[in-house]
Amino acid sequence: MELSTQDAVLTDKELSKENLEALINREVLVLRIPGFIDSEACRVISNGLRNHGYSDYLNAPSLGRIGMSYFETARKPEIIEHYFNTAIQNIKILRSACYPYPCPIDTFRCVMDEQWPAGCNLQNLYNKKMFVGLSRCMKPGIPLLAHHDMFGRHAPNTPETDSLISQFGVNIYVDVPEAGGELAIWLDEVTDEEFLHRRGSQYGMSIEPLGEPDMTVKPENGDLILFNARKLHAVLAGSGTERLTISAFFGYRGDSSPLSVWS
Ligand SMILES: O=C(O)CCC(=O)C(=O)O
Ligand SMILES: [Fe+2]
């Protein structure tokens, strides 16, 4: 394990119970596994994703995605229904876009299950399976606005969100621009009420007024990066090429409970 206390990034060769605990116990802010997928897999998978094609988020203009984020449902019953109706189909779409490589989020789910004593499951909600493995495409010059990720906002008063102790962002970087595209993190944790107030009518907060981020991580192709999604975070604009990732969240509900994954 190689730990730089200055920026609180733990870089390791593989996911393990120990490095997951370091992240969960807030000893580190970011856990990075370089080479989670190799460069040939990155090339084949990014071609497969591009060939499938991206469509825009329902509520975040100019941000492309394959699959759907539960964040897009915005508590609207018809969109929630659509999310669940397409969840398994979207998992299969991701798999076929990655073929002949395994979809890296499937591999991630297996490794999490292998390493965490209580295992790791696909998240259930309203007695239905959620989707996992959202692929995002960010165009050059356009940042992902600052936000935190709160499952509870989108599914309030459910046992699945009430039991959540913490929520982590998971990203596998399949094609990242040479310049820009950093994951920026601020140490602040704001209440969801404050966040919703400060973001106004945008899906997130503008980055500049927040001042310098407390840390930035520049992802490399093939990296798996996990971080505390309750911290304010953003993606800085990249230059030249699109930035392609496959993403998820994982939830922690105590040492003897299974971890869970969803998008
Ligand atoms: O693409 C990234 O580096 C992070 C995106 C993000 O906001 C998330 O995964 O929660
Ligand atoms: Fe996020």
Beta carbons of 227 and 218 less than 8 angstroms apart: no
- Whole-number Å distance, alpha carbon 148 to ligand 2 midpoint, is 6
Domain count, the chain: 1
| CATH classification at residue 40 | 2.60.120.620
- Side chain identity at residue 117, one-letter code: P
- pTM for the full model? 0.96
Closest residue (by CA) to atom 9 of ligand 1?
Answer: 169
Positive/negative CA dihedral, 155, 161, 162, 165: negative
pLDDT at 112: 98
- Whole-number Å distance, alpha carbon 227 to ligand 2 midpoint, is 9
Helix (H, G, I), strand (E, B) or coil at 232: coil
Burial of 224 (0-12, 13-18, 19+ CB in 10 A): buried
Helix (H, G, I), strand (E, B) or coil at 172: strand
Summarize pLDDT for 208-254 with one digit per residue, the tens.
999 999 999 999 999 999 999 999 999 999 999 999 999 999 999 99
Beta carbons of 224 and 239 less than 8 angstroms apart: no
Ligand with an atom nearest the CA of residue 184: 1
Pocket test for ligand 1, best of 145, 247, 249, 261 (most atoms within 8 A of CB): 247
Distance CA 37, CA 221 (A): 8
Closest residue (by CA) to atom 5 of ligand 1?
Answer: 235
Closest residue (by CA) to atom 10 of ligand 1?
Answer: 169
- Whole-number Å distance, alpha carbon 218 to ligand 2 midpoint, is 15
User: What is the pLDDT tens value at each position of the chain, 263 positions in all?
Assistant: 555 544 599 999 999 999 999 999 999 999 999 999 999 999 999 999 999 999 988 877 778 999 999 999 999 999 999 999 999 999 999 999 999 999 999 999 999 999 999 999 999 999 999 999 999 999 999 999 999 999 999 999 999 999 999 999 999 999 999 999 999 999 989 999 999 999 999 999 999 999 999 999 999 999 999 999 999 999 999 999 999 999 999 999 999 999 999 99
pLDDT at 188: 84
**Binding-site residues, ligand 1, Cβ < 6 A:** 144, 149, 169, 171, 183, 229, 233, 235, 245, 247
* 212 token code pair: 């310098």
Angle 3-216-259 from CA coordinates, rounded to 5°:
65
- Whole-number Å distance, alpha carbon 184 to ligand 1 midpoint, is 9
CA dihedral defined by 65, 71, 72, 77, rounded to 10 degrees? 140
57 C-beta neighbours (distance < 10 Å), count = 18
pLDDT at 1: 55
- Whole-number Å distance, alpha carbon 174 to ligand 1 midpoint, is 13
pLDDT at 6: 47
The partner residues of 121 in beta bridges, in order of sequence, read 260
Beta carbons of 227 and 184 less than 8 angstroms apart: no
- Side chain identity at residue 31, one-letter code: L
| Helix H or strand E segment including 243 | strand 243-252
pLDDT at 5: 46
Distance CA 108, CA 248 (A): 10
Closest atom of ligand 1 to CA, residue 247: 9
Distance CA 243, CA 38 (A): 17
- Whole-number Å distance, alpha carbon 145 to ligand 2 midpoint, is 9
Choose among 263, 197, 191, 202: nearest CA to 232. 191
Q: Which domain holds residue 152?
A: 2-262
The partner residues of 171 in beta bridges, in order of sequence, read 225, 247
